[in-house]
Structure 1
Amino acid sequence: MKARNKMRQLINQKGKVIRAVGAHNGLTARLVERHNFDAVWASGFEISSSFAKPDANILSMTEFKNITENIIESTTLPVIADCDTGFGNVNNVIETVKKFENIGVSGISIEDKIFPKMNSFVEKGQSLISKKEFEDKLKAAKDTQIDPDLIIIARIESLIAGSGMDDALERAFAYYQAGADMILIHSKIHNPSEVLQFRKLWNYPTPVVIVPTTYPMFSVEEARNNDFKMLIYANPIIRSSVKAINDTLSKLYSSDSLLEIDDDLIDMSYMFDLQKVKEMV
């Protein structure tokens, strides 16, 4: 089954909460698949961090596309591309959809902030484009896609920017009418009250996605009970990796051999398995 068909089936499966995990290269995507998650989120934050760059549209669309292509080649899971604001205006969105659909993504997420954007958890620099301008972006994306199974996710940043719940709901309705396949409502407070309120007030058929980075206590069961369709674990891989690398380097620096960290290292045979060395002729 093609990944896009699989994604559509997951969305249409009643009671299913899709669990997508952020990855930043082929290796991390393959590990997401090995642990039986449903999808990979080609995370803008993770990819930017892997280049030691801010998540602020520093990397180009082509750089993101190339990394996302490596992710797609490394997994059979559906891959959702975090395309930030679409890398510019309507014309950039058109080009983004063409290129990312061509490499095989199952979904494309774009958000309604100005370009260049700033990561949603940075306190300053959170400004939205007009509702009409983002509607135009969504319509352009839907008009551009060739495969009807490609998912376009409209990410609403009203609660991040401090524009309030009414603005979030007005934008969600406009984006639903513009053809968005899913609505992502983003919140940065440290409990799920905002997203729960949004879900209670959202009475339209477009499925809702959340990113519980700042409210990690929110469970899959709670998501199911409140009719959320997808949970995106956006950045635990890069953050846990940095912690592990820091611990390893600290131990190594204070020791006089590799023996001190040997128990912390995955066996080389596992690495060869991840690399699919046995498939080489």
Structure 2
Amino acid sequence: MLYSSVPAHEKRRAFRERIASGEILRFPGAFNPLSARLIERKGFDGVYVAGAVIAADLGLPDIGLTTLTEVATRAGQIARMTDLPVIVDADTGFGETMNVARSIQTLEDAGVAGCHIEDQVNPKRCGHLDGKEVVDEHTALQRIRAAADARRDENFVIIARTDIRAIAGLEATIDRARKLVEAGADMIFAEAMRDLAEFEAVSAALDVPVLANMTEFGKSELFTVDQLREAGARLVIWPVSLLRMAMGSAERALDTLLADGHLTGLLGEMQHRADLYDLVDYPGYNAFDSGIYNFEIAR
């Protein structure tokens, strides 16, 4: 009932242990707290919160318009709804070095298990768009040092994302990734890898886990979990997939409503009321106080 009973520090500790196991972890992107609960119920390893999803949810493009407050609030709403670890996209850290430090502590307070900070110029662009620019090496490393120094929970995972592949190629990506690890990164997110060989090269060059981003319609091919495991990746995210599926279904439903005036033919594609009630745990609330929540769920 209500929120997760697992404290944030326990989620972080468990996440660290899973990372250290060497298995590949699967983190679909949640677009709201309820979808995070569904991700947990289906047996995934964790939940990802994409900056692109938070921006889109606000009707904005993913170009650095969202604030730390907006991101931390939404990430916290999602994190408290699941026993799984949640990692969140913290863009470029929402400002300069001191802002990065504040962002880490704010996200710790929100209850997430980790975040990634990227090396794009602020304001950033979506990682799979053309025209990206990255900061110089000193600035990129300064951001990660600030993030690592600011955390109060040693199990909070600092993920360094580099977008330099699109600007300077694979070797530059490996070189920057190594230096980001030296600066304190626990994991590397090498954005927009072109093929499995590039994932394999980055993974082989580093002593920390590598995150693979399987976003649709982007620069990277869409590989399976097994393929990514063989290439050395240890965490895979599908950042916008559920939002895309939900919005695609919503658009088709609205088109049907305009054309037919009803949605009878789409009932089989909808989540049943009973399944929704089960997911939000109506029975738990009913058991807590039957004097208020005294109802029966229709089947």
In the superposition, the TM-score normalised over structure 2's length comes to 0.87
* Pairing partner for 1:222 from 227, 230, 235: 227
What's the secondary structure of 2:29's corresponding residue? strand
Q: Secondary structure at the match of 2:152?
A: coil
2:207 counterpart residue number = 205
Q: AA paired with 1:70?
A: Q
1:210 CA displacement = 1.2
In the TM superposition, residue 262 of structure 1 has moved relative to its aligned partner by 2.4
Give the conservation status (yes or no) of the 8 Å contact 1:26–1:70. yes
8 Å Cα contact 1:252/1:261 also seen in 2: no
Q: How far apart, in 1, do the equivalents of 2:262 and 2:227 lie?
A: 47
Q: Is 2:20 aligned against 1:12?
A: yes
Structure 1: segments with no counterpart, 5+ residues: none
1:127-276 matched pairs, under 5 angstroms:
127-160=133-166, 162-187=167-192, 189=194, 191-200=195-204, 202=205, 204-213=206-215, 214=218, 215-276=220-281
Paired with 1:115 and 1:221, the residues of 2 have a C-alpha distance of: 35
Aligned pairs for 1:69-88 (under 5 A) are 69-88=76-95
1:2-34: CA deviations, max 9, x gaps?
A: 2111111111113x0011111121011111111
In structure 1, distance between residues paired with 2:221 and 2:250: 23
- In the alignment, is the contact (CA less than 8 A) between 1:153 and 1:180 conserved in 2? yes
- Matched residue type, 1:85: T
SS in 1 for 2:260: coil
What is the distance in 1 between the residues matched to 2:281 and 2:26?
25
Q: Is the 8 A contact 2:93 2:103 kept in 1?
A: yes
Residue-pair matches, total: 275
Where does structure 1 differ by over 6 angstroms across 4 or more consecutive aligned residues?
none
Which residue of structure 2 lines up, in the alignment, with residue 278 of structure 1? 283
Provide the rounded CA distance (Å) in 2 between the counterparts of 1:143 and 1:245: 44
Give how far 1:128 is off.
Answer: 0.5
1:119 aligns with 2:139: no
CA contact 1:21–1:41 (8 Å) conserved in 2: yes
Structure 2 CA distance for aligned equivalents of residues 90 and 186 of structure 1: 22
Residue of structure 2 in register with 1:27 after alignment: 34
Q: Which amino acid aligns with 1:212?
A: M
One-letter identity of the residue aligned with 1:116? P
Identity, in percent, stands at 28
Name stretches of at least 5 consecutive residues in structure 2 with no aligned partner. Answer: 1-5, 290-299
Q: Equivalent residue for 2:297? A: none
CA deviation string 1:120-168 (max 9, x = no partner):
12222x11011111111111111111111110000011113x2112221
Q: Higher Cα Rg: structure 1 or 2? A: 2
Q: Secondary structure at the match of 2:253?
A: helix
Q: Check conservation: 2:199, 2:232, Cα contact below 8 A.
A: no
| Map of 1:3 onto structure 2 | 11
Q: Is the 8 A contact 2:92 2:118 kept in 1?
A: yes
